[in-house]
Structure 1
Amino acid sequence: MSYGHGVQDELREPSRALRRAIPEVYDGYRQMHTAAYAAGALDEKTKELIALAIAVSKQCDGCIASHARGAARTGATEAEVAEALGVTIAMNGGPATVYGPRAFAAYREFAERAGRTDTRQG
């Protein structure tokens, strides 16, 4: 089962259709997203790990796929992702033990596709 690419593939066309229907909303969201994820006091990797933890907390498979990909893209290691998900489980209990593994699998999927073989180092 794919929790990364599969979810993104499933949402691709419906997302495009909605984006075409309400472009101003999506443009505003894109601008906010760009500003929020820009490196500042926190680097992009840390922000993606925070977002991944929130995605698990919100039980949002699309968000999990997006931020697992972002974590892999920004160089998060498997150990860093695992620890972020551990905190998520501590804060959210049982539901995070379902969505946390989904996030971990999605991260591993994106990291593998990106050719990141040394993902376990912290």
Structure 2
Amino acid sequence: MGYGKTVQDELREPARHLRKAIPAVYQGFGQLHEAALAPGAVDAKTKELIALAISVSKECDGCIAAHARGAVRNGATIEEGAEAIGVAIMMNGGPATVYGPRAFAAFQEFVRERDEPHG
């Protein structure tokens, strides 16, 4: 299992417990998430790539995994993911050179999963 799925698996159960404890907060965040990433003047793929770059700058492993997966699900290519991460490195410097490779590993993992023949 790769980086992205490992992070998502580690967070799944604790997040489930917290979501049960504060459902209104999670419901509100879910609505914000849905509204912010909905296609509009900027398409969903580009919004996910922006979120991926911000995730690197915020040094958030869970965010990296979620938005790498989201970008891939919206059709982002390896090259687009790499360039978005490159912008994060430019804006955040040294720490992004640590979280950027994590993001790229997760991104590549989700691309491989998307591109695997199912059958």
TM-score, length of structure 1 as denominator length: 0.92
Provide structure 2 residue ranges, at least 5 long, that are not aligned to the other structure: none
Please give the root-mean-square deviation of Cα atoms over the aligned residues, in Å: 1.3
Alignment of 1:88 with 2:84, yes or no, is no
- Counting matched residue pairs gives 117
Residues 29-44 of structure 1 correspond to what in structure 2 (within 5 A)? 29-44=29-44
8 Å CA contact 1:72–1:111 kept in 2: the answer is: yes
Question: Partners of 1:70 and 1:101 in 2: how far apart?
Answer: 17
Q: Which runs of 4+ in 1 moved over 4 A?
A: none
Percent identical: 69
Alignment partner, residue 110 of structure 1: 110
Question: Partners of 2:14 and 2:87 in 1: how far apart?
Answer: 33
More helix by share: 2
Task: State the one-letter code of the partner of 1:99.
Answer: Y
Question: Partners of 1:33 and 1:90 in 2: how far apart?
Answer: 26
Deviations 1:27-76 (A, max 9, x none): 00111111000000000000000000000000000000000000110000
Residues 67-86 of structure 1 correspond to what in structure 2 (within 5 A)? 67-86=67-86
TM-score, length of structure 2 as denominator length: 0.94
